Structure 1
């Protein structure tokens, strides 16, 4: 286990604060997944001197945990809602990527792939019973897979998803989303089979994530000029664009449990390829999460269920840095103003040790939260 220590640095403004989640012995990396609470994160990093890909995991109560001893290469890709199951890739002696599922009590288990081909696990149901991802046929073409203990690894390519990937799964394991050649963004269930989600300009796209309740799907579609645009899909409304400033280019990467919060990246300027992480919700609208330090761009890959924590990576043009962005607004009741009723509400939550008073999202309600809230309140943030 790696201690949190000085590896956690912060930058803060009225929008929120960036916590840098880089393991002390690593040179760069990124967050790939968050638990529903935002108190557990997992991803990848590079270990010097050979910059080998290494898995890491961070939780508020334990801190950093490093790579698996038995494998020289590893990377975490997904977490269950509670954060107790983790999936990703490990490399065997022949350097084939193999999918894994990990749980603290059960340990690491490598999932047998089809024909022993390279594969990557990308997402896992909340109980760890269903895993999805991609595997590669001999020609290197990716195909979507679904794995369960009873059925083993199933090739979803037989449903027309070839090539393609299964990118995410609902908490109960019933809804799978991803992309496939010829179908673009798709939704798949065992009962209804494959559903093409369509494309707003007829140019395809990809589904990146599904809400925990399985009702909302997000990703990106291409416009007539093949720019990527983020979408939100529901059974009732179909595919709708996530509104970005001035119709800028972007993509949605993740969505909260009930579909209220959507995160991803967008391009703030039409004259630059630089990206900024964003969070969008009906309640708060569009939020540019900005950057911190010497970084020039940021990308959001994951969001907590309440939208208070966003995670991904920042980049300075040379290397990437994993982050957790924590909302730092003293507008507790979310009425778009900071007033005495916000202070009263926070004080009541703090006095009863309500988890909502964990203002700095470190897993504890203590004086640090009170001080940080008071600072933001005084600033009118």
Structure 2
């Protein structure tokens, strides 16, 4: 069996220093040599668990679903050796339940996964196909789309343990297409879209039944995200221009209705994918006229900005945040894709990471590689270093025989304190050596991996 040598690293950039503590922004790139591309679709409330999919060509070309945890590392959750396409789209607030879908040549099936039960097919509303797009924070409710048995039309569904899969779309009409993309924290509100004759509109299913929440213009709108309490909805809607219709990101509340939050200076069209609990932060993707994607962050004060303009100091100037698919309820964690050297990689952005730092560290008077923590470790450990000026930094890990097993970092970095993560999930128990070189500075630290 070939080794899956995961290259997973975290970079922290200091933005504010106070006595005894440093407030940082951290970017975790979930990547590996076995990936051609990877996507992060959802994150747990505490930011410790990320789910998504990656594309590989060995031994065959297909997508695999993954769960990444900051403590336990990387795990592929689909059936070992399968050549089917698997996608993990959502995770419960505690990170214990994952939902998604798998595809073969004849059908699409929705699944629920947990460490204890493994991967379970949750069924359909009668037809062959089903896709699960989101799971409630409490893990009780799943939302998605499924094919009915009469017309072969896809309808929005709601699933839970007690009732199974319920058809939400048939209340409109049996042959009208509908999809459910997001669910509130307790599962009481589900949002998506439905066809209403000559147009399709963002739709909410909740205590008041099925409600069309409107369009700004054109004949289309779609709801992709909903706040924890179900009161705020975000998505995309058609908007009239002199030369046609574009899709614009929107934010909706019962009080203010649908508000266009697009910024024309950033791109041609946009879609909002998720919203924080208080509604103050929205994430999504804005597209240029040539369909190049850029992740965006919208807030009440500054409006829509590209994620590159807010957190571009965490990546190289030539790289870019491409998609932002989810923001945690507290607004701290964002996941999506970032383009690094012509490769799409899953990312986790922590906008408020805190680390304890000794006062002497803040002076940054010298190069220094700190001892990893924890040590011994299983299977993930963190490695901090500091540089007093802009330098090319290379950090590599060797086994006790002197063989290189991973390159954790090989890049230009500005003056600062940084942290990277070493995941030894696919390595053997033993002693490993972490080597840092920056200019003329070379330092080696011994690390002990105990399974």
Q: Same fold (TM over 0.5)?
A: yes
Which residue of structure 1 aligns with residue 245 of structure 2? 226
Q: Shift in Å at residue 122 of structure 1? A: 0.8
Q: How does 1:119-134 map to 2 (within 5 A)?
A: 119-134=130-145
**Matched residue, 2:184:** 170
Structure 1 position 237 matched with structure 2 position 249: no
1:184 to 188, 201, 208: 201
Shift of 1:266: 1.4
Task: Choose the corresponding residue for 1:80, options 86, 92, 111.
Answer: 92
Equivalent residue, structure 2, for 1:308: 332
**1:106 and 2:130 are equivalent in the alignment:** no
What SS does structure 2 have at the residue aligned with 1:174? coil
Equivalent residue, structure 1, for 2:77: 67
124-133 vs 238-247, which moves further: 238-247
- Out of 406, 416, 423, the position equivalent to 1:375 is 416
The 3 A distance-change label for structure 1 pair 13 and 250 is: farther
Q: For the residues of structure 1 that align with 2:341 and 2:194, how far apart are their CA atoms? A: 31
- Secondary structure, counterpart of 1:115 in structure 2: coil
Please report how far the alpha carbon of residue 38 of structure 1 lies from its aligned counterpart in structure 2 after TM superposition: 2.1
1:56 to 57, 61, 66: 66
Q: Distance in 2 between matches of 1:366 and 1:63?
A: 12
Distance 2:353 2:101 in 1: 37
Q: How far has the Cα of 1:263 moved from its partner?
A: 0.2
Deviation of residue 81 (structure 1)? 1.9
Alignment counterpart, residue 282 of structure 2, candidates 243, 258, 262: 262
Please identify which structure carries the higher helix content.
Answer: 1
* Structure number with higher strand proportion: 2
Pair 1:256–1:370, CA change in 2 (3 A): farther
Distance change >3 Å, CA 63–CA 247, structure 1 → 2: closer
> The residue matched to 2:34 in structure 1 has which SS?
coil
- The answer as to 2:29 corresponding to 1:20 is yes
CA distance in 2, matches of 1:28, 1:366: 25
Alpha carbons of structure 1 residues 369 and 10: separation in structure 2 relative to 1, 3 Å = closer
What is the deviation of 1:322? 1.5
> Aligned residue for 2:368?
none
- The answer to whether residue 129 in structure 2 is matched with residue 118 in structure 1 is yes
The corresponding residue for 2:298 is 280
Tell me, in whole angstroms, the C-alpha distance in 1 between the residues paired with 2:135 and 2:46.
Answer: 16
- Could you tell me which residue of structure 1 aligns to residue 214 of structure 2? 198
Q: TM-score, normalised by structure 1?
A: 0.78
Q: How far apart are the structure 2 equivalents of 1:369 and 1:102?
A: 37
Shift of 1:23: 4.4
Q: 1:23 to 1:211 in 2, by over 3 A?
A: farther
- For residue 106 of structure 1, report the CA deviation from its aligned partner: 3.1
Q: Is the 8 A contact 2:37 2:343 kept in 1?
A: yes
- Using a 3 Å threshold, how does the CA distance of structure 1 residues 10 and 366 change in structure 2: closer, same or farther? closer
Residues 12-55 of structure 1: per-residue CA shift (max 9 Å, x gap): 69795543212453221211111122221111111223321110
- Any conservation in 1 of the 2:202–2:222 contact (CA below 8 Å)? yes
2:229 corresponds to 1:213: yes
SS of equivalent residue, structure 1 residue 108? strand
1:29 to 23, 38, 43: 38
- Hey, what does 1:358 align to over in structure 2? none
CA contact (8 A) 2:7 2:31 kept: no
Query: Aligned partners of 2:27 and 2:284: how far apart in 1?
Result: 16
Q: Describe the shift of the 1:370–1:167 C-alpha distance in structure 2 as closer, same or farther (beyond 3 A).
A: farther
Q: Is the 8 A contact 1:3 1:64 kept in 2?
A: no
Contact 2:266 2:305 in 1 (8 A): no
Query: Any unmatched runs of 5+ in structure 1?
Result: 333-342, 348-363
**Greater Cα offset, 105-114 or 218-227:** 105-114
Native 8 Å contact 2:127 2:147 kept in 1: no
SS of residue matched to 1:197: strand
Contact kept in structure 2, 1:209 and 1:253, CA below 8 Å = yes
Unaligned runs of 5+ in 2: 16-23, 363-379, 388-412, 419-451
CA contact (8 A) 1:198 1:204 kept: no
Q: Residue in 1 aligned with 2:164? A: 152
Give the structure-2-normalised TM-score: 0.67
User: Does the 8 Å CA contact 1:184/1:196 hold for their aligned counterparts?
Assistant: yes
SS in 2 for 1:158: helix
Q: Deviations over 1:189-242 (max 9, x none)?
A: 1x3111101111253210001011211110011101321111111111111122
- CA separation in 2, counterparts of 1:122 and 1:148? 14
Tell me by how many angstroms 1:323 deviates. Answer: 1.6
Say if 1:80 and 1:171, in contact at 8 Å, map to a contact too.
no
- RMSD of the TM alignment (CA)? 3.7
Shift of 1:115: 2.7
Aligned in 2, Cα 1:187/1:3: closer, same or farther, shift over 3 Å?
Answer: same
